[in-house]
Amino acid sequence: MTRSLFAALISVASLAALDACGPPNDGAVPAPVMPPPKPTASEEPTPAPTPPVLTARTTKKTIVIQSRPSGDSVLRYGADGVVDNHYEEHENGRGPEVNAKIRFAADGTLTSFDATGHETMGTAIDEHFTLTGKHAKWKSTAESGEKDVEGPVFYVPLAPTIESLGWLARALKNNGGKIALLPEGEARMERTGDWQLQKQDGDPKVHVVTGYAIYGISFEPTRVWMDEKDELFGYVDAWYSVVTSTAVSEMPALLNIQKGLDAARDEDIQKRLAHKPPPEGLAIQHARVLDVVKGKWIEDATVVIKGDKIVAVGPSKRTPAPKGAELVDAQGKSLIPGMWDMHSHLGPSDGVLDLAAGVTTARDVGNDPDRLDAYKEAWDSGRTAGPHVVRAGFIEGRGEKAAGAKITAETEDEAKAAVAFYKKRGYEQIKIYNSMKPELVPVLAQAAHEAGMRVSGHIPVHMRAEEAVRAGYDEVNHVNMLFLNFFIDKDTDTRTPLRFTIVADRAPELDLAGKPAKDFFKLLKDKKTTVDPTLVVFEGLFVDRVGEYGPGIKPVATRLPVQIRRQFLRGGLPVPEGKDARYKESFQAMLKMVKALKDNGTPIAAGTDSLAGFFLHRELELYVAAGLTPAEAIATATIVPARIMKKEKTTGSIAVGMEADMALIDGDPLIRIDNIRKVVRTIKSGVVYKSSDLYKEVGVTQ
């Protein structure tokens, strides 16, 4: 998901094929100045509105991704009350740039907002908002509207600038902790505590920043820190942070405070929503149970669970429930193994979103190792709600176009040390990324294989997929990497959006029945190489258009929190004039590639690299559109990934002795694959979750 949807204000579009990772180190830090209080919005005193600052001045914040400075946000306050904001981010060979001009009312709400620039993938930004009296009007490349308003309102800009969080927090504070949002929705805010900053040279004053949690703009509370002027001091996340340029050293302390708040919330969710059946067991009766190996239903079957294991599976007439067991009548419903997302970048809400969607195992293929290890401990132990976690250690090269990464390698010794780092932590796999030197790929692969670890990744710059496979890749991430094998030479810089646009321009040219393609498919088969296509990402890039909900998100868009779903109106890649049909045809070529892989006998692993849960369902729908049967598509998210990760003896199917991981679906996904979306209960290690309860917790409606 791809960074977390930290406020839905930066860019969900940038999640598409983001495949980068990483927060700063978490370390022991001093206690905050005072214990964080927990007032409700109604308990927060309503101060007098803070007047706009009218002194001409300039402030600057640093964007930090994986401990690496990756851009800036500059605010220029004019003596006339107008504020100019320049936001520019450089990460993973791309990034947004925004130039905005803002005017404020006395209470901190926006009276006008004008922004130009470009999105992460290059789509133009041209956004304008005005509030004249009680009449609000807005227009951007993605949406437009107008409305008469009563009372204070805050327009949430679509342009990706972190400063929007500070403006919203100030408006919330000046309006009693709650405010209506435009185009729609409502936000509320709670104060979470203070933090005393380290003294700066030449400044004798003790400065304190105040933490707030904003609700209503993302799946989870959005945490911000405000300074004594009621301006944004910083946004801190384990992946992406923005703080005043003199305060980067404060990030670990602020992050540690947030971790405590988030842990308390997550543990509370688990206590309230996780249901543990009695010791006598749980019997799910009269269900159709999917045999994923045969691709057929076992009709009118009973599955008995005790603890975290399946102890009986068979026809309901001959499979009695143990005395005292909890009974679930599943008449008319389908029971499938818990699904795997084989391409995730786990974030704060993904545990809940995955479980609600029937996903009981997630393989993370690029994250900060400290954060990822924390998710694994919390979710695998059942302390908080989330799937089982399988970890792939992210290893990148260095340089201006490299992705932010905590573990990098530029020499053979560094490559071996990187593998050893992840092996020591118990990782099952490594992932090699775009800026890795080609000559280090066989070094990494050999070290990983000797350590009993798998090797996957993007294909590094100046290298082609067939070369990476020969050098030791066990798996290729993303279907575009397979097309690039035929369209690039050693001078092509695939660290930039070229790795998308070349395929968008040329994919239909590739003859999948021709000798070059057949030779490549044979290589994949001979080397037992698997592929993680992430079709849903490329549907978003090639098919989605600005101002429209794309086919991947459209079935669920209205269920999402409003500020989340707005982000999906940004579209995908900028489409050159006259290329609309070509880009869509190129996505169809990707579907054909997946079918060719299946026909070749290459194992396909379902993964999202995007919005957790919902987009795994879409990925399976796309496999069926490509020509797989619904049973084959479901296998790519159950038994196939279990086999790939050598866990098929304990998970991936519903059988006696297996881990009690499964999803109960109100419909038959073998008749219509889109019924896979109708998960009503998920069972992970014998613990039962109602999907509706989980979705409600993150603001998703049924």
pLDDT in tens, 91-113: 877 889 999 999 999 999 999 99
In-domain check, residue 225: yes
pLDDT by residue (tens digit) across 206-216? Answer: 789 999 999 99
* Any domain includes 660: no
pLDDT of 203 higher than 50:
yes
For residue 406, being part of any structural domain is answered with: no
Q: How many residues can be counted in the chain?
A: 702
Choice among 17-26, 330-339, 364-373 with the minimum mean pLDDT? 17-26
Domain end (from 224, 250, 271): 271
Average pLDDT over residues 649-654: 98
Q: Does residue 121 sit within a domain?
A: yes
What range defines the domain where residue 167 resides?
36-271
Domain-embedded: residue 230: yes
Peptide bond connecting 183 to the previous residue in cis, omega within 30 degrees of 0: yes
Please report the pLDDT score of residue 247 as a whole number: 81
Query: What's the average model confidence in pLDDT over 655-661?
Result: 98
Question: In this prediction, what percent of the chain has a pLDDT beyond 90?
Answer: 82
CA dihedral 647, 270, 358, 668 (to 10 degrees): 130
Give the whole-number percent of the chain exceeding pLDDT 70.
92
Whether residue 165 has pLDDT greater than 70: yes
* 138 contacts 159 by C-beta, under 8 angstroms: no
What are the tens digits of pLDDT across the range 516-563? Answer: 999 999 999 999 999 999 999 999 999 999 999 999 999 999 999 999
Query: Tokens standing for 647?
Result: 């866990």
Question: Please, which residues have CB within 8 angstroms of residue 55's CB and are 6 or more apart in sequence?
Answer: 77, 79
pLDDT at residue 8 tops 70: no
The answer on pLDDT for 383 being more than 60 is yes
How far, rounded to the nearest angstrom, does the alpha carbon of residue 530 sit from its chain's CA centroid? 23
Query: Which of 98, 93, 140 shows the shortest CA–CA distance to 119?
Result: 98
Mean pLDDT, the chain, integer: 91
- Dist CA 410 CA 444 (whole Å): 11
- For residue range 238-280, list pLDDT tens digits in order: 788 898 877 888 888 999 999 999 999 999 999 999 999 999 9
Evaluate whether residue 468 is within a structural domain: no
Residue 92: the pLDDT is 77
User: How far is residue 273's CA from residue 472's CA, in Å, rounded to a whole number?
Assistant: 44
Mean pLDDT in residue range 499-526: 97
- As for how many domains the chain has, the answer is 2
Q: Is the pLDDT of residue 33 over 60?
A: no
In sequence order, the β-bridge partners of residue 214 are 189, 222
> Residue by residue, what is the 3-state secondary structure of 476-497?
EECCHHHHHHHHCCCCCCCCCC
Residue 445 has a pLDDT of 98
pTM of the model: 0.91
In a domain, 337, yes or no: no
**Dihedrals φ, ψ of 273, to 5°?**
-110, -20
Identify whether the C-beta of residue 634 lies closer than 8 Å to the C-beta of residue 292: yes
Which of 55-69, 251-265, 640-654 has maximum average pLDDT? 640-654
Range of lowest pLDDT (160-164, 248-252, 299-303, 392-396)? 248-252
Supply angle C-alpha 453, 344, 291, rounded to 5: 80
CA atoms within 13 A on the CB side of 523: 20
Q: What is the pLDDT of residues 435-458, one digit of tens each?
A: 999 999 999 999 999 999 999 999
pLDDT of residue 50: 55
Min mean pLDDT across 66-75, 97-106, 618-627 is at: 66-75
Q: Which of 670, 642, 644 is nearest to 658 (CA)?
A: 642
Q: Which of 204, 236, 271 is the last residue of a domain?
A: 271
The radius of gyration computed from the CA coordinates of the chain, to the nearest angstrom, equals: 25
| Cα–Cα dist 14/35, whole Å | 36
Name the region of 185 (left: φ>0; alpha: ψ -120 to 50; beta: rest).
left
* DSSP, res 544: -
Q: What is the pLDDT of residue 486?
A: 97
The mean per-residue pLDDT over the stretch 378-389 comes to 97
Asked if the structure places residue 55 within a domain, the reply is: yes
Q: What is the DSSP letter of 645?
A: T
- Domain C-terminal end among 271, 304, 324: 271
CA 186 – CA 178 distance, rounded (Å): 7
Confidence of residue 48 (pLDDT cuts 50, 70, 90): low
CA distance 378 to 605: 25
Element (H, E) at 215: strand 208-215
53: pLDDT strictly greater than 70: no
User: Residues 6 or more apart from 677 whose CB is under 8 A from it?
Assistant: 357, 555, 556, 614, 617
19: left (phi over 0), alpha (psi -120 to 50) or beta: left
